[in-house]
Structure 1
Amino acid sequence: MPGGGGWLKNQPLDVPGALTVTSGIILLIYGLTNAAALGFASEWSFIPLIFSALVLAAFVLIESRSKAPLMPLDFIRRGSVLTANTLALVLTSIVGGVGFIVPVYFQNVLGYSAVYSGLLTLPPALTFFIVGGWVAPRLVNRFGAKRTLLVSSALISVGTLLLTPMSPNGNAFVLMPGLLVWALGASIGFPAINIAAVAGTRPGEEGLASGVVGTSSRVGFPIGLAILLTIAGAFDPPAAGNANASTSTAGVVAGFQVAMLAAALIGVLGFFIALRLKDVKPPWASGDWKQNEAALQQAGP
């Protein structure tokens, strides 16, 4: 818009970069999805992951030599941008893994129906909807992205730790406090990550920053799912031998417990990563947007 302070840059589309990054991410997600079900040792997992690494390496090489790169490498190497995207990967990996394991525990271990399991996950889902939609933006406005993400990481770790009292003959309501704390932490963290990712940008880079952090969040889900399910399978005692149904179920639960401990430790890692962020607030929280709006009105059409 005229006088809107927008940023326009005419440059050719980086077709080689777009093709390599898209195909590399598709291969990465495909390999991680297979790894969650088949393990990393399966050829359906490690072959796509190897090709993904090669294609993404080609993307980095293309971007380093391109005159009009799709994603300038100096942008992603910028401290605040890199930290925010790393944190997005970490937190979404926990959400992806825990969000899959808990319903599996409800249905396959406790024997609940899909409908009843869905009803049990409704309270944390409502927490995501209400807190993420209304409460989280107000927290970021008041306390800034850094402090919000520190609280978010701590709550995710504590909530995941409260999910470890799983047992073959347990009760889903024992896990409900942990689910609610976990959902509360995650729901306040996602908006803050987006604010932190955009805060380190220069004029005109906001769209790029939003796209990169969105990709990091999407990739984090299959990464967490693959890692936590691999850990759960590795610590499943009966997995290597024959066992009766009750012993096998106990082994599955033991693997889930270790996976929850691992998720809690990943949350602690997220806490320390959040310490490296700059404490920023969205522009409208400081009232700067009002000054800009007044200037635009004075400028006229």
Structure 2
Amino acid sequence: MTSPSTLARSAEQLQTAVRWTRAQWMLLMVVCTVLALDGLDVSMVGVALPSIGHELHLGTDSLQWIVSAYVLGYGSLLLLGGRLADLLGRRRIFLIALTVFAAASLLGGLVDDPAVLIATRFVKGLAAAFTAPTGFSIITTNFAEGRERNKALSIFTTFGASGFSLGLVVGGLMTSFSWRWTFLVSVPIAVITVILGSRFIPRDKPSAQDSGHDFWGAVTLALGMLGLVYTLVSAPEKGWGSVATIAGFIVSAAVLAAFAVIENRVKHPLIRFGILREGWVARANLSAIGLFGSYLGFQFIVTMYLQSVLGWSPLGMALALLPAGLIVASSAPFADRLIEKFGATRLILTGLVSLGLGYVWFLRVGTSPNYVLDILPSMILLGIGFALAFPSINVQATAGIRDSEQGLAAGLIQTSTQVGAALVLAVTTAIVSGSGRQEAGTASPAAMLDMYRPGLILSAAVAIAALLVAASPARRRTVGTGTLPAA
């Protein structure tokens, strides 16, 4: 239990204004800018997908890889990224990964080969898998625990949400000139940030211990997830009952089973599965899969719908989706107060209900929708749902976990969000591709809408499933300062 003296010191810290030096502010701005670049990149490219498909002659299943390659690269190595930063030095890993991100962005904006373009997206995802956890650990090791660190982390997460919402508008503007600018605009920002980071990120000594480096666990996890997503995406074309599809599922399952065996045998596993026996941790990770998976699949389909079916410009589409992003960005600084007042579990349930209602409302759209009546309510519901559920899921995922496993719990929830998003997006694309093989240039708007509608239904179903998981009863357990959340 927390001692009275500790509580007294915490209260005193809350009453003390946080004062940072110029170097601390610059350090924080460097890591925040990189996180904002990650969110900016995902949303900008999402806006540009129809233009990329038109110029490079890509179908829906190929366009999906431009999104999921980044997300999968990010999610598959996220857990390993933080470990390598500890082993080799946070400053070194952060700057190298950011340089790779800039180089991949430059190459992606110049190539005409779809395969190379998708490869650059995957490389950028790998780079983000190192910058995101490393940036987080740079903050936790350079800002004192308590109000100072909490404020820094609040600013950090706000930048991520703001980058995503800003990317919708920036992506629309860039695509109005050329989709290539959605890749190239990140290059000068990343280069400047590398220069500033080399000056303001303090040098740190690599860890002398390498016993925590679970290399084969990371390899099997990455290969297993890559194989599973590829099998899901290619199944509509090859056939769900084909030898290639069945073999892909069997091999992926075998590799993931090998990952589980490795994790149970190594001294310092990448994922200690015992942590998932805590009911609230498992529910938080499953809720994160539903939250991000349904939202990314929805955004992918809506982007195609607004531009291909309705013929909206990229900027018009970005402005149509912007209300959801603005709600998320504007609410981020107040999330901690809401969680403290209402509790993480209540906010997760409320957020997932709002998210599900937003998807269901959007199902009523047709080929000539009224934006105010048909689309805007969905954007508001989705923004509210994401704003309430996202921070609350992160809090629930790390609640009551001992200090020695906080990094594991944080890395696990981030991995769940990214890998879950990639998997659900792959299933969404498979369903959409399997419901109609006509391309945008030959199908009527009504036929295209019918082709996209099953994907919209899937997003709603995934959100409802996440709601049922979040509402499931869990045993209560007292750890630290109080009783941990139950539904």
Instruction: Tell me the TM-score normalized by structure 1.
Output: 0.77
Does the 8 A contact of 2:428 with 2:455 survive in 1?
yes
Question: Does residue 1:266 correspond to 2:462, yes or no?
Answer: yes
Question: Does residue 1:163 correspond to 2:359, yes or no?
Answer: no
Of 41, 56, 61 in structure 1, the residue corresponding to residue 256 of structure 2 is 56
Matches within 5 A, 1:88-103: 88-103=288-303
Of 83, 107, 122 in structure 1, the residue corresponding to residue 283 of structure 2 is 83
Of 391, 403, 406 in structure 2, the residue corresponding to residue 206 of structure 1 is 406
Of 440, 448, 459 in structure 2, the residue corresponding to residue 252 of structure 1 is 448
Shift of 1:176: 1.1
Identity between Structure 1 and Structure 2 (%): 30
Distance 1:23 1:233, change over 3 A: closer
Other structure's SS at 1:24 match: helix
Does the 8 A contact of 1:166 with 1:253 survive in 2?
no
Shift of 1:241: 8.8
Shift of 1:123: 1.6
Does the 8 A contact of 2:227 with 2:252 survive in 1?
yes
Distance 1:155 1:40, change over 3 A: farther
- RCO comparison, higher one (Cα < 8 Å, 6+): 1
Q: Partners of 1:81 and 1:43 in 2: how far apart?
A: 37
In the other structure, the counterpart of 2:107 is: none
Q: Partners of 1:36 and 1:164 in 2: how far apart?
A: 26
Shift of 1:230: 3.2
Q: In the TM superposition, what whole-angstrom CA distance separates every residue of 1:214-242 from its partner, at most 9, and x where no partner exists? A: 000001222222223333445x4xx3799
Q: Which deviates further from its counterpart, 156-165 or 198-207?
A: 198-207
Q: Partners of 2:311 and 2:236 in 1: how far apart?
A: 21
Q: In the TM superposition, what whole-angstrom CA distance separates every residue of 1:59-78 from its partner, at most 9, and x where no partner exists? A: 10111222332222212333
In the other structure, the counterpart of 1:154 is: 353
In the other structure, the counterpart of 2:430 is: 230
Shift of 1:88: 0.9
Shift of 1:278: 6.0
Question: Does residue 1:71 correspond to 2:271, yes or no?
Answer: yes
Distance 1:38 1:188, change over 3 A: farther
Other structure's SS at 2:404 match: coil
Task: Letter of the 2:367 partner, please give it.
Answer: P
**RMSD of equivalent CA atoms:** 3.4
Q: In the TM superposition, what whole-angstrom CA distance separates every residue of 1:37-71 from its partner, at most 9, and x where no partner exists? A: 96874999776655432222111011122233222
Instruction: Tell me the TM-score normalized by structure 2.
Output: 0.49
In the other structure, the counterpart of 1:134 is: 333
Q: Partners of 1:68 and 1:118 in 2: how far apart?
A: 45
Distance 1:130 1:45, change over 3 A: farther
Count of aligned positions: 270
Task: Show structure 1 runs of 5+ residues with no match.
Answer: 287-301
Q: Partners of 2:410 and 2:244 in 1: how far apart?
A: 31
Distance 1:79 1:279, change over 3 A: closer
In the other structure, the counterpart of 1:19 is: 219
